[in-house]
Chain A
Amino acid sequence: MKFVVLVKQVPDTNEVEVDEETGTIIREGVPSVLNAFDEFALNVAVDLKEKIDKEVEIIALSMGPPQAEEALNKCLAIGADRAILLTDKIFAGADTWATAVTLGRALKKIGEVDLIFAGQEASDGNTAQVGPEVAAHQGISQLTYVTEIEDFDPEVGEIICRKEIDEGHLMVKGDMPLLLACMPRPDFEPKIPNIREIMKAKKKRKETWSYEDLGGDEEDYGLEGSESVVIKTYSPPPKGEGIKIDEEPERAVEKLLRFLDEEGIL
């Protein structure tokens, strides 16, 4: 079986700078990490592989600048078997649409895939669009906000997932091939790769694919292939300081009620 995990390297800071001309994030010089949502998705894939009694190849797939290789190295240490980096100047500046097109072409080149795991969103753009768009491009079903895999039957090709919704959660059954957009559970602790796994990762298969490898029209990719244009980026004004009532419960309730009353909220 083949699992593909879509991963992205993101800046490890909230103080991201934005290129005023293109409206995209400047990544140079900012320390980068594996997107936490994707790390969770990979952990889900690795756990699933460990649980089932079948040969599974996990491929970590990323589009990004050459330095995104670092995030893929981490994926290999965590448990991916193979890593593919899609990197080319032509891919640069892609919005979610062009990203999904690029990833989709790579998925086609990879061949038959049983499950695609994606993070629900990336902590830099927070659009939550790429996973679902990839599924749409591939013409396969998708499950979003997946926090856990409850049951998996590789023979039948069925998977039951726990999906978070505002009111609680749902148990949803899906047929493979399927894309799962994964959302870390609050108690999730990512697997820490040990030294042995890190050294083993060094020997795993790593590839870099460029535009030449994916083919198609140049205009489908990157900034040119993007359907959306960022008109303006700005930091929202900082929230004012809240009010903290630090009292015994009874006094606190009293104070709170008085405050709500005075503000005309009650």
Chain B
Amino acid sequence: MAETDLSDERGLTEEQKLFRESISDWGERNLPLERVIEMNREGHPFPEDIIQGLADLGVIMGPVPEEHGGMGLSWKDQSIIEEQIGYIDPSIATAAGFMAVETGWGFTINRYCNEEIREKYIKPAIRGEKFVGIATTEPKGGSDVAGFESTAEKDGDEWVLNGEKTFISGVEECQKIGGGYWVNVRTGPKIDEAPHKNMTAFFVPIDTDGLEPQEPYDDAGRGSLSTSGFVMNDVRVPEKYMLGEQGKGFYYTMEGFDNARIMIGASAVGVTRRILEEAADYIKERETFGRPLAKYEAIQFPFVERYTEMEASKLMVRKTAEMQDVRYDETGWGEKTGDPKTYKPTEIAKWISMIKYKVPHLAKDTADDAMHWLGAAGYSSEYVFETAWRGVMSYCVGAEGGANIQKIVIGRETLGKDYVPYK
């Protein structure tokens, strides 16, 4: 842990303070920065002892209700947990892979799945024994979520899935420990004016016949967590593995994105804080021309600018998580995509897009700055900055939706629907 402490616990509940303390203690013992850097160098699959450790710590899928194996935590609680996970693992592989994906998407799967899936996959994933993820992106549909081509046809009480999913987090890990994916397919013809119609979500176990995992990509960052994809050749899943209702997949997917993006925003706050603390230790110590680096405005000013943005982002993330709590509180467990009285879901989505766009960029830019502040040392993997920079970039370029897509949502909600660029 850095000597400089930029955390501010004011405003947290007693429990939230303890969450942070436990995660820090666990991190110091099991995931010090040296291990984070080493894990990234060694590559995937993600180490099982860390998966198990996170599960034992109880940080995966906290908002899932207690009766379904979770803890019924608020999104605010979970965002504070996620922030601290980002703090201990600024490579963002932990925060991204096992926390954000499983928490955001696992929680949403659990809202729409049957008891069998819950027992066989959700509960074990919370215990660290399985992995659940999301497979929506396809070669022809990334940002354009409804622009995909995979299909499912009904055959008796089964559905037969065909198509290809690409850039999917955790496939290798899922193969290794078991689990499955939320897979979006088309269960009817593509309607050009409304391509999101006929989109249906299924839960597909990774070991289903006809599902062929692809070779992982050699990604720039997040080295310890795999990104790959799979081809589906006549993959058969029972009708009961459909998530929610037929044709509603697009709406559920938007809900899943909302939940996962809150987690991304929160973890990026933690990443930024860690980078600033580690950098502060160095610039206070390192002298050039007889003075510590921290005394030069050229270094101190961007440092405090990033710090200010980090605190602003933290407040935004917490407000957004609170909005999401209102959404789930008011619509109640089991309701379909919520329509709370206090905020419109699109308004909540706007805030979620604001943090998803802003905070990963802040973390990336702060890592970039820190490398400048430290010079050659910052560029080397002795320090965590370059690992963090490469990792968090994944959330700028695309993972859980690229920055431009977030801006389109923010623009739509501020300027009005008439100004959506691509319509």
Q: Hey, which bits of chain A sit against chain B, CB under 8 A?
A: 69-70, 73-74, 77, 189-190, 192-199, 201-202
CA distance A192 to B25 in the complex (A): 7
Query: Per-residue CB proximity of B8-30 to A under 8 Å, as 1/0?
Result: 00000011011101100110010
Check if A73 sits within 8 Å of B18, measured CB to CB: yes
Check if A77 sits within 8 Å of B29, measured CB to CB: no
**Other A-B pairs beyond A192-B25, A195-B81, A198-B15, 10, CB < 8 Å:** A70-B14, A73-B14, A74-B21, A77-B22, A189-B29, A190-B25, A192-B57, A194-B22, A194-B58, A198-B22
Q: For the complex, is B408 an interface residue (Cβ under 8 Å from A)? A: no
Check if A199 sits within 8 Å of B22, measured CB to CB: no
Chain B residue nearest in CB terms to A197: B58
Chain A residue nearest in CB terms to B5: A31
- The 10 tightest CB contacts between A and B, nearest first, are A195-B58, A194-B58, A196-B58, A198-B18, A192-B25, A194-B57, A73-B14, A192-B22, A192-B26, A198-B15
CB distance from B26 to the nearest CB of A (A): 5
Most buried by A among B22, B29, B58, B71: B22
A-B contact pairs, 13 of them (CB 8 A): A70-B14, A73-B15, A74-B21, A77-B18, A189-B29, A192-B22, A192-B25, A193-B22, A194-B58, A195-B71, A195-B73, A198-B18, A198-B19
Q: For the complex, is B163 an interface residue (Cβ under 8 Å from A)? A: no
Given contacts A194-B56, A194-B58, contact A199 B15 (CB under 8 A): yes
- Which of chain B's residues have a CB closer than 8 A to the CB of A74? 18, 21
CB distance from B363 to the nearest CB of A (A): 24
- Which of chain A's residues have a CB closer than 8 A to the CB of B19? 195, 198
CA distance A134 to B94 in the complex (A): 47
Q: For the complex, is B59 an interface residue (Cβ under 8 Å from A)? A: yes
CB distance from B167 to the nearest CB of A (A): 30
CB distance from A53 to the nearest CB of B (A): 25
CA distance A181 to B21 in the complex (A): 26
Chain A residue nearest in CB terms to B62: A195
Given contacts A74-B18, A77-B18, contact A199 B73 (CB under 8 A): yes
Query: Per-residue CB proximity of B56-77 to A under 8 Å, as 1/0?
Result: 1111001000000001010000
CA distance A194 to B26 in the complex (A): 9
CA distance A199 to B29 in the complex (A): 22
CA distance A201 to B19 in the complex (A): 12
CA distance A192 to B22 in the complex (A): 6
Chain A residue nearest in CB terms to B14: A73
- Which of chain A's residues have a CB closer than 8 A to the CB of B56? 194
**Residues of chain B in range 69-103 having any CB-CB distance to chain A below 8 Å:** 71, 73, 81
Most buried by B among A74, A199, A201: A199
- Which of chain A's residues have a CB closer than 8 A to the CB of B15? 73, 198-199, 201-202
CA distance A194 to B62 in the complex (A): 12
CB distance from B23 to the nearest CB of A (A): 9
Check if A195 sits within 8 Å of B22, measured CB to CB: yes
CA distance A190 to B28 in the complex (A): 13
- Which of chain B's residues have a CB closer than 8 A to the CB of A193? 18, 22
Query: Per-residue CB proximity of B24-56 to A under 8 Å, as 1/0?
Result: 011001000000000000000000000000001
CA distance A192 to B14 in the complex (A): 16
CA distance A199 to B81 in the complex (A): 13
- Which of chain B's residues have a CB closer than 8 A to the CB of A189? 29
CA distance A189 to B29 in the complex (A): 9
